[in-house]
């Protein structure tokens, strides 16, 4: 669970950086950003009766807040979805789809991290069939573990550029079930193997970066 929590922290940090460029190249001065995320993540793994067809799905969703001082903050929902299906008996990749969206999302998260619910419509691209599919995601999280805290502080220094990242997070392990479906197949037919509900605060500072 600790590893899963670290992966979620890393993921939300990457999402924050990619979603909201810091403007670090503007004149080589100092820029900074503040981020908050209240959300949930889950990893599902299942196999068909033969044991050959293995399906994995990872869902990450958050109410994402961003502010670049002195500007006003912006809050928007976000979901990322990745699905992989393989025939492990023949070594054949059957399905590999990924997608994300900030629209058509109904995400509710208890601020005490006791529960979360998600209903979303997510377009994904399947690289195997070279096609776009629409996934309907309906999931519910119920916390089963205690609140755990995690703190990270990273410095990256290169000639003429100093980048600082910091994060503080609260996580609770959870049981998660529901469906991730294209209308024919439910890619999350069993309870999630790993799931978390979380609240994170992050900040970054860029000094002299071009």
**Kind plus residue range of the DSSP H or E element containing 4:** helix 2-19
Q: What is the pLDDT along the chain (210 residues), one digit of tens a residue?
A: 444 444 444 454 444 444 444 444 444 566 667 788 999 999 999 999 999 999 999 999 999 888 777 777 788 899 999 999 999 999 999 999 999 999 999 999 999 999 999 999 999 999 999 999 999 999 999 999 899 988 887 878 888 787 787 788 899 999 999 999 999 999 999 999 999 999 988 877 777 676
Position 142 scores a pLDDT of: 98
121, 135, 119, 196 alpha-carbon torsion, rounded to 10°: -120
CB 172 within 8 A of CB 40: no
Cβ atoms of 32 and 20 within 8 Å: the answer is no
Q: Which of 117, 171, 179, 119 is nearest to 145 (CA)?
A: 171
The three-state DSSP-derived secondary structure of 64-131 is EEEECCCCCCEEEEEEEEEEEEEECCCCEEEEEEEEEECCCEEEEECCCCCEEEEEEEEEEEECCCCE
Domain ranges of the chain: 2-207
- 17, 198 contact by CB (below 8 A): no
Return the pLDDT at 163.
Answer: 78
Q: What is the pTM of this model?
A: 0.78
Rg (CA), the chain: 19
């Amino acid at each position: 669970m600790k590893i899963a929590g670290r992966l979620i922290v890393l993921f939300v940090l990457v999402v924050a950086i990619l979603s909201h460029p810091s403007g670090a190249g503007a004149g080589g001065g100092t820029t900074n950003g503040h981020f908050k995320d209240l959300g949930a993540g889950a990893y599902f793994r299942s196999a068909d009766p033969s044991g050959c067809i293995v399906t994995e799905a990872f869902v990450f969703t958050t109410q994402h807040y961003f502010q670049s001082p002195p500007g006003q903050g912006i809050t928007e929902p976000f979901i990322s979805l990745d699905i992989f299906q393989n025939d492990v008996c023949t070594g054949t990749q059957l399905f590999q789809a990924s997608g994300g969206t900030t629209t058509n999302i109904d995400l509710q998260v208890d601020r005490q991290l006791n529960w979360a619910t998600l209903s979303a419509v997510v377009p994904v691209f399947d690289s195997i069939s070279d096609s776009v599919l629409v996934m309907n995601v309906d999931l519910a999280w119920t916390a089963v573990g205690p609140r755990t805290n995690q703190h990270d502080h990273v410095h990256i220094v290169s000639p003429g550029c100093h980048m600082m990242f910091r994060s503080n997070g609260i996580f609770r392990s959870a049981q998660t079930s529901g469906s991730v479906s294209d209308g024919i197949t439910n890619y999350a037919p069993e309870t999630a193997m790993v799931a978390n509900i979380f609240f994170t605060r992050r900040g970054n500072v860029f000094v002299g970066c071009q």
